[in-house]
Amino acid sequence: MAAHPETKPKTSSARKSVLVQTFTRIAEWGNRLPDPLTMFVILILIVVVLSGILNGVSAEVVQRDGSSTTKTVESLLSVEGIRWMLTSAVDNFIRFAPLGPVLVVMIGIGVAERTGYIAMGLRVMVKLVPPQLLTAALVFGGVMSSMAADAGYVVLTPLGAVLFAGLGRHPIAGLAAAFAGVSGGFSANLFITALDPLLATLTQQAASTVDPTYAEGINAASNWYFMVASTFLITAVGTFVTTRIVEPTLGPWIPEDDSECLSTDEPTPSETRNFFTAVATSGIVLIGILGLVAIPGAPLRGPSRDGHLLTELAPFFDSLEVLVATLFIVPGVVFGVLQKKIRTDKDIAKMASDSMASMGAYVVLAFVAGQFVAYFNHTHLGTVTAVKGATLLQELGLQGIPLLMMFILVSSVMNLFVGSASAKWAFMAPTFVPMLMISGLSPELVQAGYRVGDSVTNIISPLMPYLPIIIIFARKYDKKAGLGTLLSSMLPYSLAFGLSWILMLILWLTLDLPLGPGVEAFYSAAPATGP
């Protein structure tokens, strides 16, 4: 299939920009590294050795309730450490956070893909969305996917690759664009997400040590205006990086067979009718899901805590992977039956089995990645490193905006070692919020700065739990794809997001714009009523 003429990036093979040449060299260098499976084994060995060298190094961590506890690096080379590694290996694998969600969602996606439902949906999307807006729509969808917790990682990233492949564009560029939106733009959204009340609660507790009256006004909407603007910023920057840097760096894509490209033929009346029948079925399923969550006391609605609606929806978020899989598999089966690709239940079973068979490489990689993450957490290397970094920042003696910029930098570096946004803020907020409040920066501004720093390095962090599945998705289209390919594709997003987001924050402060409803960026010692 010939690619859509308006979807290919405008580049010259004879003359590439300095940036493209730089990232091309990074990819070439990175792909000389060992296989990702081997790389995780090497990282495990590094953690084991470091835990022995730094054994006994400690740091004091402030808890949510104001108390403190001491975290000490524990050696994995001791008798207890070796015993723990051997006895916990299976649990480390089973408890690897993305393992279950990825496999469950991929059952639904796999069936829908094999019946032709996804391909047909993409053909319809391509005809409805102007080609020049497809990349922006993909990045924007990734940013907005944080409303559905981590579902974007296992739904949007493979669909982004499929969409680009169908248009003759490099599928890894589509994967990168979706991944950049989902992960790099995790803190941005047009709506309040589950992360907002969680961070606000921690910020409120930390701010109360300086000004209890002011702290009472901190709520989930404290960063809303800034995050709405950030959504459009990330979409625009992500689109630019995809088309001007990532795609030229990856070069032209030559599919192994025509099946990887979307058909350019007009859908037959029968195909169109069958597709919209399947879509109507998914609408019925969606209405059923809404019925399980919309009514107070419904199965997917729990008790309210702290007066936040999002806390009531915890059962819904906990079951999201199963719901997403259902939203794919039901209409996929309906479409398959109507298209006569499914004739008996055995056909459905085979499609689901084939989908799981294709995930074998991911399961193996997840086993090793699960050990790495568990070792890192068990040794407390991440927590101790993060606290030491916070101490260093305190000793620099900076004030005002320069202090805020350095704080963002420290947050982004800490994110390479401690993945969870809430867990990291739990021990950072008690230290940084009071410190920056005394310097004249509001707690809400400190929280916004933290969210910027925490987001921009998500896509290049080795501790990103979904990194293995992203590599597996990439290898579906390029068997030689490795950490170098992924790094060279994601590093431009990380740098561009970080620079543009910081510049927007500086402009926001210069114009003295509110961060949220009634929320000022600067703090004075005078009591504030808050929103």
Contact 364, 93 (CB under 8 A): no
* Per-residue confidence (pLDDT) for residue 348, from 0 to 100: 94
CB 213 within 8 A of CB 255: no
CB-based burial label for 490 (10 Å; 0-12, 13-18, 19+): buried
- CA 144/CA 190 separation, integer angstroms: 7
* Contact indicator for 382, 417 with CB cutoff of 8 Å: yes
* 8 Å CB contact between 198 and 424: no
**Residue 183 DSSP class:** I
Question: Distance of alpha carbon 95 from its chain centroid, rounded?
Answer: 19
CA angle 238, 480, 367 (to 5 degrees): 85
Tokens of 69: 């506890």
CA distance 76 to 85: 8
What's the pTM value of the predicted model, to 2 decimals?
0.80
**Scanning the structure block, which residue is given the tokens 């193996």?**
364
What secondary structure does DSSP assign to 434-459, as a single string? HHHHHTTB-HHHHHHHHHHHHHHTGG
Structure tokens at 105: 């969602």
Contact 113, 354 (CB under 8 A): no
- Which pLDDT value is given to residue 135? 95
**Stretch (H or E) spanning 489:** helix 483-510
The helix or strand, by DSSP H or E, that contains position 383, with its residue range, turns out to be helix 381-396
pLDDT of residue 452: 96
Distances (CA, A) of 249 to 36, 74, 253, 317, 462: 21, 42, 11, 37, 22
CA dist 308 and 329 (Å) reads 32
Supply the pLDDT for residue 63.
Answer: 59
Farthest-apart Cα atoms in the chain, separation: 73
pLDDT for res 386: 72
d(CA 305, CA 528): 26
Per-residue pLDDT tens digits of the chain, which is 531 residues long? 344 444 444 444 444 678 777 777 777 776 677 788 888 899 899 999 999 999 999 887 765 555 677 889 999 999 999 999 999 999 999 998 888 888 998 899 889 989 999 888 878 887 788 888 999 999 999 999 887 667 788 888 988 998 898 888 999 999 999 999 999 998 899 988 878 888 888 898 888 878 888 888 898 889 999 999 999 999 999 999 999 999 998 888 888 766 566 665 678 889 999 999 999 999 999 999 999 988 888 898 887 665 556 667 778 888 888 998 999 999 999 999 999 999 999 999 999 999 899 889 889 989 998 998 899 889 988 778 777 777 777 777 777 888 899 999 989 988 887 767 877 888 788 778 888 888 889 999 999 999 999 999 999 887 788 888 898 889 888 887 777 778 888 999 999 999 999 999 999 999 999 999 989 999 875 443 333
379: which 2 tokens? 């040794």
Angle (CA) 22 480 97, round 5°: 95
Start-to-end C-alpha separation, the chain: 56
